[in-house]
A and B are shown apart, each in its own frame.
Chain A
Amino acid sequence: MEPKTLVDTSMALGLPAPVWFIELFKWLGFSLHAVPMNLWLAGILVSMILYVLGNPHGRRFNARLMAQMPVIIALGINFGIVPLLFIQVGFAEIFYPATILMAWFWFLVVVLLLPAYYGVYLYAYGLAGQGDAMPRWKRAAGWVSAVLLVAIGFTFANAMSLMENVKSWPDLWQRHSFNGAALGTALNLADPRLWPRWLLMFGLALTTTAVWVAFDAAWFARRESPAYRAWAKDFSWRLYTVGAVWFAIAGAWYSFGTWTPDTRQAMFRSAWVLLTVVTAAAPAGVWVLLWLARKREGDIGPGWASLIGLAQFGVLGINAAGRQVVQHVEIGPYFDIVHQPTGQTQWAPLAIFLVLFVLALGLVAWMIYQVAKLPAQPDAA
């Protein structure tokens, strides 16, 4: 069975906007989503481990991050809508079949997200109400959330790799079908790209968590002790080192071990090689910034922390761009994303959206400004 024949390109309704616009918003949306998503993917797990290890500063970070986590998850879900919307606009022909083949697992993402989110709330309210004395079941809720969110991450990696792995569709479909209809029980486990891809994302998530430790200490931890902030400065660099090494190993496995000859040709021997190199090397830049911060006397100031945060956002953005290019190359033989027909470009709705988007950003900025100018609360201690 020729996998390409399973991709139906006969549907007439064209794209509502130029391909570049759809690609741009998919990339931008994913890059924004990656920040909070990285924090719940690796951050919760790291902070729960820190709690168990018992270092008081580590426990303090656990309390800080988990108190912030309800807002982080809300923003992450919100930002995640953008790439999900634009992937369905531009990649419907391959996105829907891939997710339908693994439908029950894909559906499970929503089902698992509910207890994961409420687990975080339980933990956060347990901390706020009872602190370290919170009952074990509330503490366990934090662990349950951490595990569920890692499982959700794995399901995402599975769906995205299956979308690119059109070659595997016929076999998966034939093994998981009833009268030609998908049972939705297929997982792309045999795909050699799946595991390094997932591990690569986890490594990246570790680095983002590390940057958050520093950023949070510089911006939001004015009431914490100098000892905590010193710990945060040191720990963020250490964690970033682990994350960057993890990212490098998983990335090397992913690119050298699993890319097809066409992908290697595109990413190593064409103009895209620059993007490949920058994607691989970018974490080193943030690592150096954290290292310099660690060497400096005193706290990481808000300015330096912002620079580090922006640099990490750059790492995530470059990584998203790199994977988007790889996605194009791997999907290319089966579906031509770039040359899809454009229908009626919806300029007026697009303009309304952009204007409202800018106005909304203004309102968000105003609300944050109202909060930022509040005097600091007196220390409860």
Chain B
Amino acid sequence: MHFPWWHVDYLTAPMLIAFVSVVHVLVAHYAVGGGLFLAVEVTHAYRTHNRDYLAYLRRHAKFFVLLTVAFGAITGVGIWWTIGLASPLATRVLIRTFVFAWATEYVFFILEIVSAFIFYHYWGRLPEKVHATIVWIYGISAWASLVIIAAITAFMLDPGKWPADHDFWSAILNRQALPQIISRTGGALLLSSLYVYLHAALTIKDAKLHALIESRSTRPALLGAVLITVGGVLWHVLLPPSAQAALYAAPVLNVLMALLFAATGIVFVLLFFGPYRNPGWIHTPGFAASVLLFGVIGMSTAEFIREAVRKPYICYNVVLGSQMLPDEVTRVRRQGFLESGPWTRAFVQAKYPQVVSGDGHIDRTRLLALPKAGQIELGGVIFQYHCNDCHAVRQGYSPVGPLVQGWTPAMIRALVQDLDRTRFTMPPWAGTPEEAELLVAYLADVSPPRPVGMLPAEPKTGAR
């Protein structure tokens, strides 16, 4: 409402955030867990004077730096890029609230970059103790970054007292922070082990070395599994009631939860039957790739669920999916949705000057006097700014047309006027009754007719 809305056909703009975030998270968690893995293992290898293991760790460090410093960093910046485009109001609130948290995370990021390059490029030249210290600087900095970012993303699910006091500490020390830090730390440890398994399976021939890598990387994997379980349980217990309800009420989330449990369970089972009971299995690239694949599926699903349970909010109780603040709803209802947003108002002023009064404001009483095509177009404007955050139009991501397929205008009207009561995962309607009629006209226009030939046959009009 406050900013122009970016219309991305079929997908919807926020789905780009989901896509970039999931891709980033798969590398970012490895950047943390892999850093800690390298820190622990390089220290161990130096202490035990294991040259073969050090040589492997050096090869792994090259893969690690190539993936995390380039791909991880760019996709991380990519999230910023995308949230600013697809969710500018929430981004504005987050950035103004957490600017110094992000600045602090940036400080750790500097340390990560410098230490990662020095650790890798000066391998074999730095004294062992200094070299190990530098990789520990990397590992600790990366984990500190995770803590800060996890706390910020947790705020989006439970802002605590922040809506009342707007205090930084209320925001960062929210109830969801600890569960997310625990589960993300676990995810980082587990995922890094899965990356190591695959990398080792592809690059190591020596069985003895393989056995060592396997036993060393299974420990963080198991610790990660425990942390994921503990963090996940805490996350669920501390979810706001609406988010808990959404988990069970939304069919897509039911399916995703089942997928998450299945993928996580498969990873745990594979870890048990693989590295624990049948150590040789993990040496094969196919098995190692399968474990990583299920880990990736589990983590991607968890990210998607984390995003989806917030509905109808982008930030729980702070920014609604309709791109407005909760305390703006009453004013917008009174003032009119089209009138309240600068871009919607400008659209009406430019295209339908006949509904604009002498003082430049939109006269709501003239809206329904527009020709039908004009009403549908303005309904489309309202849809874009009020609904397109979660719904595509005719096809694509949760398209609204098929959702109201076969509905009568009266049914659509009832839905629009009581959006949040019909579905608590939808934001409250924030427009005048006249604007509701415009939206009804638009939705009726984009919805396909009820499919023909269904039994029992529909009674003909006037039959009752």
- Counting chain B CB atoms within 10 Å of each CB, the highest count among A77, A84, A101, A173 belongs to A77
B343→A180 contact, CB < 8 A: yes
Q: Are B110 and A78 in contact (CB under 8 A)?
A: yes
Is the beta-carbon distance between B122 and A371 smaller than 8 angstroms? yes
User: CB of A352 within 8 A of chain B?
Assistant: yes
Q: Is the CB of B100 within 8 A of A349?
A: yes
Q: List A contacts of B381 (CB < 8 A).
A: 179-181
Chain B residue nearest to A170 in the complex (CB)? B346
Are A179 and B383 closer than 8 Å at their CB atoms? yes
Return the CB mask of B321-346 against A: 1 if under 8 Å, else 0. Answer: 00001000000000000000111111
Partner of A103, one of B6, B99, B166, B168: B6
Closest chain A CB from B174 CB (angstroms): 15
The 8 Å CB contact of B104, one of A10, A121, A352, is A352
The interface-forming segment of A39-47, A219-227, A232-240, A353-361 is: A353-361
The residue among B99, B126, B344 with the most chain A CB atoms within 10 A of its own CB is B99
- Contact between A181 and B93, CB atoms less than 8 A apart: no
Q: Which residues of chain B are within 8 angstroms of A89 by Cβ–Cβ distance?
A: 95-96, 99
B69-86 interface code vs A (CB 8 A; 1 in, 0 out): 111011101101110110
Contact residues on A (Cβ < 8 Å of other chain), bracket: 35 or more
A82 to B108, CA, bound (A): 13
- Answer whether A99 and B85 are a contact pair too, CB < 8 Å, given A89-B95, A181-B7, A374-B122: yes
Give residues 122-141 of B contacting A (CB, 8 Å). Answer: 122, 125-126, 130, 134, 137
User: Closest CB-CB distance, B103 to chain A, in whole Å?
Assistant: 5
| A353 contacts B81, C-beta separation under 8 Å | no
* A262: interface (CB < 8 Å): no
Whether A106 sits at the interface, judged by CB under 8 Å, is: yes
A183 x B82 contact (CB < 8 A): no
B106 at the interface (CB under 8 A from A): yes
Q: Name the B residues within 8 Å of A189 (CB-CB).
A: none
B346 touches A99 (CB 8 A): no
User: Which of these, B75, B95, B110, B345, contacts A360 with CB under 8 Å?
Assistant: B110
Q: Which of B42-50, B112-120, B192-200, B265-273 has 4 or more CB atoms under 8 Å from chain A?
A: B112-120
B384 touches A179 (CB 8 A): yes
Of the candidates A101, A118, A121, A178, the one having the most CB atoms from chain B within 10 angstroms of its own CB is A178
B107 pairs with A357, CB closer than 8 A: yes
Known interface pairs A1-B350, A8-B2, A110-B81. Does A180 touch B107 (Cβ–Cβ under 8 Å)? no
Contact with A along B137-177 (1 / 0, CB 8 A): 10000000000000000000000000000111100000000
Q: Out of A82, A344, A364, name the residue touching B168 (CB < 8 Å).
A: A344
How far does the alpha carbon of A319 sit from the alpha carbon of B2 in the complex, in Å? 33
CB of A6 within 8 Å of the partner chain: yes
> Nearest Cβ in chain B — how far from A244, in angstroms?
32
Binary interface profile of B, 305-332, with partner A (CB < 8 Å = 1, else 0)? 0000000000000000000010000000
**CB pair B347 A180 closer than 8 Å:** yes
Which residues in A have their C-beta under 8 angstroms from that of B97? 13, 16
CA distance A15 to B99 in the complex (A): 10
Instruction: Please indicate the chain B residues that have their CB under 8 angstroms from the CB of A97 in the complex.
Output: 3-4
Q: A residues within 8 A CB of B117?
A: 71, 74
Is A137 at the interface (CB under 8 A from chain B)?
no
> Would you give the 0/1 interface string for A91-122, flagging 1 where the beta carbon is closer than 8 Å to chain B?
01001110111010011011001100110010
Alpha-carbon distance A304/B384, docked complex (angstroms): 59
Say whether A52 faces chain B, with CB atoms less than 8 Å apart. no
Do A353 and B130 contact each other (CB < 8 Å), given the known contacts A97-B4, A100-B6, A182-B5?
no
Which 10 residue pairs are nearest across A and B when measured between Cβ atoms? A349-B100, A179-B380, A181-B7, A110-B78, A180-B347, A181-B384, A96-B88, A180-B381, A181-B5, A8-B2
